[in-house]
Structure 1
């Protein structure tokens, strides 16, 4: 009975699938490896015998079949089996060799074509699929161009793992069962008990019972050790420029210099990354010297001079024709090795001037240096720099002259060599040298300037027209420089003390190339101001002198020239400039008054000046008043009174009458002053100052009713005078009539609605009366009408708001009001009270630069310096104030108009006004 489950039964022992159909394991030449190992020979014989027995075959027939099977399954390519009994003789060897040659010849016939095809295919594949190294080869070469700041600013690589949306979602969808021990540990985390022992150790205990001990003494020692290592590293790298010399480090300046070395520390922090990048750059392009130099400098920065020297030496081998890498190698080695390196560098680059100079500087004695330079000149006879070094090394003037003579023969186009030779020659020979140089360098204007300076040194600068000839010659050669270049050359001559040459250059070249249609006067004034701003006063003086020859009657030019002499010249130069001004412009009273003022110290000279001025301007009120001031300031009261009387007859102007009234008032003659002001008002009823003086005289005489009447009549006659309204209101306030004062100011605002002074006075009136709410209401209305008034903003910030709101209001005011000195002084005052003294000082200076005529700014600044300034700075401020001569300002005019302060100088007035300022 056959079994149906034979498929699930194990195979019989020694079963080989397909063996009955003749299948067996074999190996062919085309296979990559051996085939599956088949059954052994004994196994095959046993299987065949068993098969034969099952089929009823046996005896001889079985043996014959066995032999047939053996012959049938014999491998025909197996020559061992086919020719096992044969002999391998010389003919067989020769045949095998012939076939090998044929195979090799057939293979080499298409080898070149095959290799070219394979190379093209490989290049095409590499082009389409470049390696990462090839993609970044260009960027690696550009690494040599990066500066230290670029290296320091390379950002750190960021970790982007787990940043994708899918990763975040997957991470949020994971849930784990947390043990209770983890939760308990998290609960107790951070709960420590720490005790510090006397020996500097700290013991920390956790709830779990474990203890950790911290030794603060060891921590401090470790910190000191790290600091010491950094100091030693800095001391090693700080003196590498001076090879062979001992380096030193100032410990006191170490901490203060940390701020300047933050960039270096940042680059050193990434030293490994930079080293790898530079190594890649060097490996990819070893012929690029900048990569080797950058790598060596990196090692020097890292404190490894030995590694740096090895790198730069390898770089010199790869780039022997690059002089910069040799110089870098010389600089980072000591003197002995540097000399050897310099010799090798010069052998590779005998034409390099820099290398010869570096080799010369390595020598210690003068003789060796001369020897090196002369060898350098043998290789580079056309090098101007080497000749200059050779001349500088010579101690004997005659030897230097001989060298320069030879140098000018070899390099006739060198301007510097010609000028040096002329400087060493005698005056007569110097002229000959410069003449030769002009022939060799006909387009050089520097040679002509040198000739002019030579004539100045010989005392012939004023007589010999060298610069005039120079201009003619250069124009013919079509080599005339621009006007700006000539001005620069003149300033250079001024710096070197050749003032006459400077003046001659300006005189001969300033007008060249300019037509009469050009705005020459303004252009020359700008040139002069530019030179003066660069502190080239002789050049500016020469420009003004030339411009005045072209425009002899220009008032603006004379004023600018006089200002230059007043600020940067001496008294004689100022007098000469004013004398030229009054001769050129005799009808300009400004120059006469300035000259008389400058000679006020010599009263007879000042009188002569004014007498000359009277002849030219007989009815000029300014000259009359100047004469009166001169006599009054010198104590000649009767002469001053007589002059005023004559002036009222010859020049009957309101100013003359006001000066007459003020003169009598200053002397204390109130009755005479009152008579004069009444007579003056009959002639000039619309002069507001006369009405103010009348009211002030009545106040001085303690007659308030008459003063009120005078002010009332004045505001009716001249309702547009703000000072007159203010005097009227203040008189009523002093008489305790606040309602009347308010009424006066209301009438004034109706007459002059846009006056910030009137609005401010009304606000102050309410504030002094205690009506703060009304004052704030008025301030809001005033700022709506005049939002750009610095006076109103200052009053609000200082007196109507709390201290905490001052800064915000000040910032708002600065946005709306631009360039207002009152507001700037307010800002300085706030900073002053907050003890920010440096900032307050800057704001005072800004206010002075904005308006020097505002006297209150000078006074507040002086008061500030009295508390927080030095005596030298206060004296400087007074000097500046005297030069500026301020005339305006609320407090300044109030003090200056007092009769008792008449005749006082600006410096004394500054101190009086500063003393009158409120706290």
Structure 2
């Protein structure tokens, strides 16, 4: 057997024999074989994660779910597209096939981009146009202002003020700036008056100057010249300016147009948030593009630009809106408003051609005209286009003279026969006969309008035909009811008030007489009529109120309340003659009503007709023989006129017939006032035998005894009085006050404690106890009492008013706020706040709160006295007279200081002005740091 040659063996040898296996190759993997790795393949020092160099690479190990927590979640390992862990394709390198594919796609994109170039350029051009409309150039924005500069005179140019620094103090001196004061050594060099321009080497400042290599090193001359530093700085600044200037003509290379545009974009002309403006602009742009025929979108867009200061953009937008919405008069009117006057006329002329039947556009066109003749011409052209416009006729008539207005109105009522205003205007311009004809024609064309009937009644009244006025009103109501017109009482009463204000009193009274009972139930008539009369009187329609009262009295002649209401109305708004006439009728129908007799007697007495007042009271005695009020009124009449003997005889007769406690009190008071103290004591003892529970008799007896000097007897009287009348607060006040004046503070405290037990939840008794401690200089005790008092009486105005002044001056304001929350409409609290403002020196504010106090409670005399006191100290003579006049009109009777002065026996004959002056003189001047308990 021969051996084959080596060449033949090499030819049949496979080309992979002897070559290394590919990386990761596993023999027999296609037949289901799995590779394995022995320890000899890995080695003891080999990393398990390294790629094997052998032909049998270890199999890929899958990570378990438990290993997911070991993922690197650091921010440096995060990619926006691939997430954590790097690129998704990091294990697949970018090969040549991918590069070839990318090149092909790039070529395709370039080819497609060439095809879209024309479309892209058109789109860019449109976007640029829109951008220029939204942000026009400076020439466009200031074009209207440049045209107006042609009319500016030389004097106006010269009178333009210089631009000042409009910044506030914080802007001029920001907090970021810090100024370091110079050391005393530098200041001391200038004390001699010499101007030093160099820095001393020994001052230590030279080491801080730039240009020195080491601290303390100076120039060769030994000092630093500050003047040379300034010159060098100017030179350096000039060099920098030359660098930014052009070589030809010294022109700057900075673009002024672009520079100003940038400044405009940087400085907002709108005070709000610029982001909100941008959002609104985008939204409005979207609305315009979505529905270009929507007029409000264009108007809103223009107004947005106007608010932000871009008036030219607003004009461009609204003119674009006129093109897109030519039938909208609102858009045209907005465009005319935004344009200057000369351009507005052109816009309105164009709108008139588009909308010739719009009255608003014609009115705007007339408003743009300056001359009256041109306005008339515009309105006449408008009426040719719109002859049935009532508004245009009215505006045209207002511009004409009386004769031309008649002609226009004659034509107007033909074109607008249903316009009541035009008929009435024509009737006012015509004479009496023609006016009647015009009104008759107006009734024929408008049978359901009440104003024509009322105007006819006014016409007849103005021409003296008083008998026809009532007939016209009656016929008007019947005719309107026949035409199924609803008769509204409120509308007719309002027409009556308007007729009264116009001077047609008979028409007013006829309307009230015929309409007041319409639609009112019989049981509600009196109540509703009284409310109607009060409403008319409040609105100043006194004749209407008088007519209502007259009609009510004709229906209810025996009602005392109606007569009293009518009498009070005449006393407030009528004359003395009308009041007396009414009262004569009243006592005829209601002779048993004592108040009506007394009002009549007082009216005569105020008119200084004393005999007539006596005769009225005599008639009242006959109608009411045992009336206590009439007896006392007669006594007051005689005593006020110094007829003391007549007053005594009247009182003696009254005691013999009707010995009431009040008659006994008045008898004793008269003797007390005449200084007959013993007679007064006897009368009081007589009265106390019959009426021991009448507190005023006890009070008068105790005060008379105090006046005589019998202090112990007075104290016994008060002590017995509080046993008989434990609910009388003034008696407890007199008893505790007497004990306090005698120096028995403990007894006074016990008395007030007993009074609070007998009268629980009484704020006056708590206030007396608090002020007792204040007078005893026990401020802390008074505060504790105030706390207990406010717990028992949380809504007491007098307690809260005192609580304000118990606090320190720094806490009174907060205390007053609490008081106003608890007692908002209490006059005492408001008065305390007014006094607090006075103490603060805020006189105008105090005056305002004093006015508020007297409006809340005009019967509080203390408020008038404090108000008058402040005006005496700080007000003018007119202000003092005004307060005095208002106080006399209010005629107050209550108040702590007011009652103590007015009820004093020495002031029993004094009137309100005198008492006001006396009370104001006794009041202290409020001082901030003083403990006040007034």
Same fold flag (TM > 0.5): yes
Residue in structure 2 matched with residue 596 of structure 1 by the alignment: 601
Contact kept, 8 Å, 1:471 with 1:480, in 2: the verdict is: no
Aligned-partner Cα distance in 1 for 2:623–2:849 = 47
For residues 209 and 587 of structure 2, what CA distance do their matches in structure 1 show? 104
Residue 285 of structure 1 aligns with which residue?
Answer: 291
Query: Alignment partner for residue 461 of structure 2, among 430, 443, 456?
Result: 456
After alignment, is 658-667 or 328-337 more displaced? 328-337
Which of 909, 912, 933 does residue 906 from structure 1 map onto?
Answer: 912
Residue 41 of structure 2 aligns with which residue? none
**Paired residue for 2:66?**
none
Q: Which residue of 2 aligns with 1:561?
A: 566
Q: Find the residue that maps to 2:442 and give its secondary structure.
A: helix
In 1, distance between residues paired with 2:309 and 2:683?
92
Q: Does 2:517 match 1:532?
A: no
Q: Check 1:739–1:334 CA distance in 2 against 1; reply closer, same or farther (3 A cut).
A: closer
Between Structure 1 and Structure 2, how many residues are aligned? 693
Tell me the residue number matched to 2:417.
Answer: 412
Question: Residue 480 of structure 1 corresponds to which residue in structure 2?
Answer: 486
SS in 1 for 2:448: coil
Residue 669 of structure 1 is matched in structure 2 by: 676
CA distance, structure 2, for counterparts of residue 341 and residue 857 of structure 1: 65
Query: What SS does structure 2 have at the residue aligned with 1:464?
Result: helix
In the alignment, structure 1 residue 695 sits paired with structure 2 residue 702: yes
Q: How does 1:284-433 map to 2 (within 5 A)?
A: 284-397=290-403, 399-433=404-438
Which residue of the other structure, out of 823, 838, 841, is the alignment partner of 2:829?
823
In the other structure, the counterpart of 1:628 is: 635
- What is the CA deviation profile of residues 103-148 of structure 1, one whole-angstrom value per residue up to 9, with x for unaligned ones? xxxxxxxxxxxxxxxxxxxxxxxxxxxxxxxxxxxxxxxxxxxxxx
Q: What is the distance in 1 between the residues matched to 2:642 and 2:719?
A: 37
Name whichever of 874-883 and 721-730 sits farther off.
874-883
Asked if 1:439 corresponds to 2:444, the answer is: yes
Runs of 5+ consecutive residues of structure 1 not aligned to the other structure:
9-30, 36-188, 219-261
Aligned partner of 1:716 among 716, 723, 737 = 723
> Aligned pair in 2 of structure 1 residues 412, 793: CA closer, same or farther (>3 Å)?
closer
- Indicate how the Cα distance of structure 1 residues 320 and 772 shifts in structure 2: closer, same or farther if over 3 A, else same: closer
2:832 is paired with a residue whose SS is helix
Q: Which string of whole-angstrom CA distances, capped at 9 and with x for unpartnered residues, describes residues 258-277 of structure 1? A: xxxx9963378965665554
Q: CA deviation at 1:365?
A: 4.1
Report SS of the residue matched to 1:442.
coil
Inter-partner Cα distance in structure 1 for 2:270 and 2:625: 78
Q: Give the 3 Å change call, closer, same or farther, for CA 783–358 of structure 1 in structure 2.
A: closer
Equivalent residue for 1:541? 546
Identify which range, 735-744 or 402-411, moves more after superposition. Answer: 735-744
Structure 2: how far apart are the matches of 1:738 and 1:339? 91
Scaled by the length of structure 2, the TM-score of the pair is 0.67
Match in the other structure for 1:727 = 734
Does residue 757 in structure 1 map to residue 764 in structure 2?
A: yes
Counterpart CA distance in 2 for 1:530 and 1:509 is: 16
Over residues 678-715 of structure 1, what are the superposed CA-to-partner deviations in whole Å (9 max), with x where a residue is unaligned? Answer: 22223322221111111111222222233223323323
For 1:285 and 1:480, how far apart are their aligned partners in 2? Answer: 47
CA distance in 2 between counterparts of 1:780 and 1:409 reads 81
Pair 819,33 (structure 1): closer, same or farther in 2 beyond 3 Å:
closer
* C-alpha distance in structure 2 between counterparts of 1:904 and 1:354, whole Å: 69
* Contact 1:193 1:205 survives alignment (8 Å): no
Which one of the candidate residues 635, 649, 655 is aligned to 1:648?
655
C-alpha separation in 1, matches of 2:916 and 2:633: 23
Please tell me whether the aligned partners of residues 487 and 506 of structure 1 are also in contact (alpha carbons under 8 angstroms): yes
Greater mean alpha carbon deviation, residues 366-375 or residues 679-688: 366-375
Using the TM superposition, give the Cα deviation of residue 415 of structure 1 relative to its aligned residue in structure 2, in angstroms. 1.0
2:895 maps to what in 1?
Answer: 889
CA distance in 2, matches of 1:400, 1:555: 55
The answer to whether structure 1 residue 769 and structure 2 residue 776 are counterparts is yes
- 1:767 deviation in Å? 3.6
Report the 3-state secondary structure (helix = DSSP H, G, I; strand = E; otherwise coil) of the residue aligned with 1:438.
Answer: helix
Q: Give the conservation status (yes or no) of the 8 Å contact 1:356–1:376.
A: yes
Does the CA contact (< 8 Å) of 1:287 and 1:318 recur in 2?
yes
Q: 2:612 corresponds to which residue?
A: 605
Equivalent residue, structure 2, for 1:510: 516
Could you tell me which residue of structure 1 aligns to residue 265 of structure 2? none
Query: C-alpha deviations, 1:705-742, integer Å up to 9, x for none?
Result: 33223323323333332212221222232233334434
Change (3 A) 1:205 1:568: farther
Give the Å deviation of 1:192: 8.6
Shift of residue 898, structure 1, vs aligned partner: 0.8
Shift, 1:335, TM fit = 4.3
Change (3 A) 1:275 1:772: closer
Kindly tell me: are residues 422 and 6 of structure 1, through their superposed partners in 2, closer, same or farther at Cα, counting changes over 3 Å?
A: farther
**What do the CA deviations read for 1:855-880 (whole angstroms, capped 9, x no partner)?**
22332333333334444343333333
**Separation in structure 1 between the aligned mates of residue 795 and residue 211 of structure 2, nearest angstrom:** 73
Match status 1:916 vs 2:925: no
> Take 2:277 and 2:16, find their aligned partners in 1: how far apart are those partners?
80
- Specify the alignment match of 2:528 in structure 1: 523
SS at match of 2:469: coil
Whole-angstrom CA distance in 2 between matches of 1:693 and 1:625: 18
Aligned in 2, Cα 1:270/1:590: closer, same or farther, shift over 3 Å? Answer: same
Conserved 8 A contact 2:469-2:506 = no
Q: Is residue 270–residue 308 contact of structure 2 (8 Å, CA) maintained in 1?
A: no
Q: Kindly state the Cα deviation for residue 419 of structure 1 after the two structures are TM-superposed.
A: 1.0
Name the residue aligned to 1:855.
861
CA drift of 1:812 comes to 4.2
Change (3 A) 1:905 1:355: same
Shift of the alpha carbon at 1:401?
A: 2.4
Shift in CA distance, 368/209, structure 1 to aligned 2, threshold 3 Å: same
1:684 aligned partner = 691
Q: Give deviations 1:258-297, integer Å, cap 9, x for gaps.
A: xxxx996337896566555444433333222223333333
Contact preservation (8 Å) 1:192, 1:205: no
Aligned CA-pair RMSD: 3.9
Determine if the alignment matches structure 1 residue 614 to structure 2 residue 621: yes
3-state SS, counterpart of residue 520 of structure 2 = coil
Task: Determine the C-alpha separation between the residues in 2 that align with 1:817 and 1:304.
Answer: 54
Q: CA deviation at 1:444?
A: 0.6
- Pick aligned residue for 1:471 from 474, 477, 494: 477
Structure 2's unaligned 5+ residue stretches are: 1-9, 21-100, 106-175, 196-204, 213-228, 238-267, 926-934
Are 1:192 and 1:207, in contact at CA under 8 Å, matched by a contact in 2?
no
How much has 1:819 moved relative to structure 2? 4.2
Cα distance 1:580–1:845, how it changes in 2: closer, same or farther (>3 A)? farther
On the 8 A contact 1:268/1:301 being kept in 2, the answer is no
Q: CA, structure 1 residues 210+433, in 2 after alignment: closer, same or farther (shift >3 Å)?
A: farther
Is contact 2:664–2:683 with CA below 8 Å preserved after alignment? yes
Instruction: Give the structure 2 partner of residue 144 of structure 1.
Output: none
